[in-house]
Structure 1
Amino acid sequence: MTKSVRIAAWNVNSLKVRLPQVLRWLGEQAKADKPIDALCLQELKMSDDKYPHRELEAAGYLNLVAGQKTYNGVAIIVRRSALASMSSDIETTFINPIRNIPGNADEQQRILAATVCFSGLQPLRLVSAYFPNGQSPDSDKFAYKLGWLTALENWLKVELANNPRLALLGDFNIAPSDIDVHDPSKWIGQNLVSVDERAAFQRLIDLGLSDSFRMFEQVPKSFSWWDYRMMGFRRNAGMRIDHILLSDALKTKCSASLIDKEPRKWEQPSDHAPIIAEIQA
């Protein structure tokens, strides 16, 4: 039987609120014999000292965290039983961790990277990313987003050179093309779909990354985010702004990429659904 790992990303929009959903989802995936081996979380909205290490470790997961009070925050959690070593030592599980983009002065916690050694596979470099929203193209927040994207691109050039087996996972706050938007005409002139943002996304692809979701035939109008307002999820008025980009070395090993909409149906859900990619040995 071919060894594989399932890596995932999920903007939980407050881990304090969504921890029961995260634990439920991880448990249901495991019961279905489709365990999640690595989950990159975004928008934790909690400081490091508030992170629920105990609860996730009790469920069998080790955690690397870059938290921030009230806003932002990212994490990488890995299934202990999937590791090459059964050690519970975080320092030996998460190799060469990087918090935030090196050389880019920014207090917002948006990037967390580490190399993980899973049983039966060569090491994987995982990057959990929470891209800025941008608010609107005429705002200071949009200028910050574009500057952040440039810093990310420059850093990833180095990361890819040093780590050919790299996956960039998370909430990108960019819909790459019109097919990733429920009604493109309603989004003209807004952030998430602007020419500048889509160009920045393409530059990431040009580094040698591939959009894993588009490597496979998908159902039309497949989205990962739906506004809480105006029955967005019920109407499927959503956008695909959460992505798993894979380096060339991982692209050839990817056997599936999908969006799991089920958790969006649960009580008090995140406005995002988890996304998954399966990587073969």
Structure 2
Amino acid sequence: MKIATFNVNGINGRLPVLLRWLGEAVPDVVCLQELKAAHEKFPATALEQAGYGAVWQGQKSWNGVAILARGREPVLTRRALPGGDDDHHSRYIEAAVNGVLIGCAYVPNGNPAPGPKFDYKLRWLDRLIAYAAELLATGAPVILAGDFNVMPTEIDVYKPERWVDDALFRPEVRAAFHELLAQGWTDALRKLHPNERIYTFWDYFRNAWGRNAGLRLDHLLLSPSIADRLRMAGVDREVRGWEHASDHAPAWITLAEQGRDAGQVGKISTGRPRPRLTRLRRQP
């Protein structure tokens, strides 16, 4: 099972890039962030023709998150992070796919810091930490994936000394991320590549891509009940070099097949196969 996260930075404007990558990488599940499209403008038909069912939460011009599943329809379980009745940003969506609960997150940027946007980011992270603890308590297989807008350590950022005052790298934000991990989540990319400089984002300015002046902002976190199935993890960094690409590249993991009864762990339903997608090309 291959699960990916990809901040598309405008799904309709970069739809050809997304469709090309889906056709080449053939992920089973994809978490998308920064749709930058109203809910009714989500390109569900084009994605269905590419073989993917989807659930999404759009927002005009900003934010927006989605979960895609190859050859089936994700079972929607949540459209927003708990604890924010006055927060109308589309930053979290959750669905069950093939016995695994997938949470797709787009954490606020938080700049400038300090300031109201930074305070909002910290409150949002507090809500995520609280909810993540509830998810772990179920014992279910869970993956939290998305653009967390944090570089957890100095190895995750090119020239960290230039980022000390940025909301993506401030001590409060990194501490919140490590508090999340301390609950028992596994940072999949770092687990398999503990000492490598791995980036998922390169700014459009100052030739950041050409200089490999990147940041690791996109993460896949695994609950203990699924972490032992982790086999591979990586970043499709070449996608960042494609024409009209997002400033992020897709990050992905592969998991070993679940046991016969693994789909019953916790109380999560598996995704329902979509009859009209049954003739699609399957991953070898």
Give the alignment's TM-score, normalised by structure 1: 0.88
Greater than 6 Å deviation, 4+ residue runs: none
Counterparts of 1:163 and 1:20 in 2: how far apart (Å)? 38
Note the C-alpha offset of 1:218: 6.2
Give the direction of change, closer, same or farther, for the CA distance of 1:21–1:150 in structure 2 (3 Å limit). Answer: same
Letter in 1 for 2:212: N
Do the aligned residues in 1 keep the contact of 2:151 with 2:215 (CA within 8 Å)? yes
> Which residue does the alignment assign to 1:60?
51
Structure 2 counterpart SS, 1:115: strand
Do the aligned residues in 1 keep the contact of 2:201 with 2:214 (CA within 8 Å)? yes
Give the direction of change, closer, same or farther, for the CA distance of 1:142–1:239 in structure 2 (3 Å limit). Answer: same
For structure 1, which runs of at least 5 residues remain unmatched after alignment? Answer: 30-34, 84-89, 118-122
Counterparts of 2:130 and 2:6 in 1: how far apart (Å)? 25
For structure 2, which runs of at least 5 residues remain unmatched after alignment? Answer: 258-284
> Which residue does the alignment assign to 2:75?
94
> Which residue does the alignment assign to 2:108?
132
Letter in 2 for 1:56: L
Structure 1 counterpart SS, 2:177: helix
Letter in 2 for 1:223: Y
> Which residue does the alignment assign to 1:116?
97
Letter in 1 for 2:196: P
Query: Any idea what the Cα deviations from partners look like across 1:30-71, whole Å, max 9, x if unmatched?
Result: xxxxx2000000000001100001100011100000110000
Query: Any idea what the Cα deviations from partners look like across 1:128-176, whole Å, max 9, x if unmatched?
Result: 1000000132111000000000011111111222252000101000000
**Which of 126, 130, 142 is 1:150 aligned to?**
126
Give the direction of change, closer, same or farther, for the CA distance of 1:163–1:18 in structure 2 (3 Å limit). Answer: farther
Letter in 2 for 1:13: N
Letter in 2 for 1:258: G
Do the aligned residues in 1 keep the contact of 2:141 with 2:223 (CA within 8 Å)? yes
Note the C-alpha offset of 1:219: 7.2
> Which residue does the alignment assign to 2:279?
none
The yes-or-no answer on 1:222 pairing with 2:198 is: yes
> Which residue does the alignment assign to 1:39?
30
**Which of 228, 236, 248 is 2:224 aligned to?**
248
Counterparts of 2:220 and 2:132 in 1: how far apart (Å)? 14
> Which residue does the alignment assign to 1:75?
66
Structure 2 counterpart SS, 1:233: helix
Query: Any idea what the Cα deviations from partners look like across 1:222-263, whole Å, max 9, x if unmatched?
Result: 210011001000001111011001111111100011011111
The yes-or-no answer on 1:16 pairing with 2:12 is: yes
Note the C-alpha offset of 1:17: 1.0
Query: Any idea what the Cα deviations from partners look like across 1:158-216, whole Å, max 9, x if unmatched?
Result: 12222520001010000000000100111122211111001100111012101001111
Structure 1 counterpart SS, 2:136: helix
Q: Which has the higher contact order (CA 8 A, sep 6+)?
A: 2
> Which residue does the alignment assign to 1:160?
136
Counterparts of 1:51 and 1:204 in 2: how far apart (Å)? 31
> Which residue does the alignment assign to 1:26?
22
Do the aligned residues in 1 keep the contact of 2:145 with 2:220 (CA within 8 Å)? yes
> Which residue does the alignment assign to 1:86?
none
Do the aligned residues in 2 keep the contact of 1:125 with 1:163 (CA within 8 Å)? no
**Which of 161, 174, 186 is 1:210 aligned to?**
186
Structure 2 counterpart SS, 1:17: coil
Do the aligned residues in 2 keep the contact of 1:210 with 1:246 (CA within 8 Å)? yes
Give the direction of change, closer, same or farther, for the CA distance of 1:218–1:155 in structure 2 (3 Å limit). Answer: closer
Note the C-alpha offset of 1:103: 2.6
Structure 1 counterpart SS, 2:13: helix
- RMSD of Structure 2 on Structure 1 (CA): 1.2
> Aligned pair count?
256
Do the aligned residues in 1 keep the contact of 2:139 with 2:225 (CA within 8 Å)? no
Counterparts of 1:176 and 1:219 in 2: how far apart (Å)? 13
**Which of 213, 224, 242 is 1:237 aligned to?**
213
Give the direction of change, closer, same or farther, for the CA distance of 1:23–1:129 in structure 2 (3 Å limit). Answer: same
Letter in 2 for 1:108: H
Letter in 1 for 2:43: P
> Which residue does the alignment assign to 1:188?
164
Give the direction of change, closer, same or farther, for the CA distance of 1:163–1:79 in structure 2 (3 Å limit). Answer: farther
Give the alignment's TM-score, normalised by structure 2: 0.87
Letter in 2 for 1:100: A
Counterparts of 1:189 and 1:268 in 2: how far apart (Å)? 30
Structure 1 counterpart SS, 2:112: coil
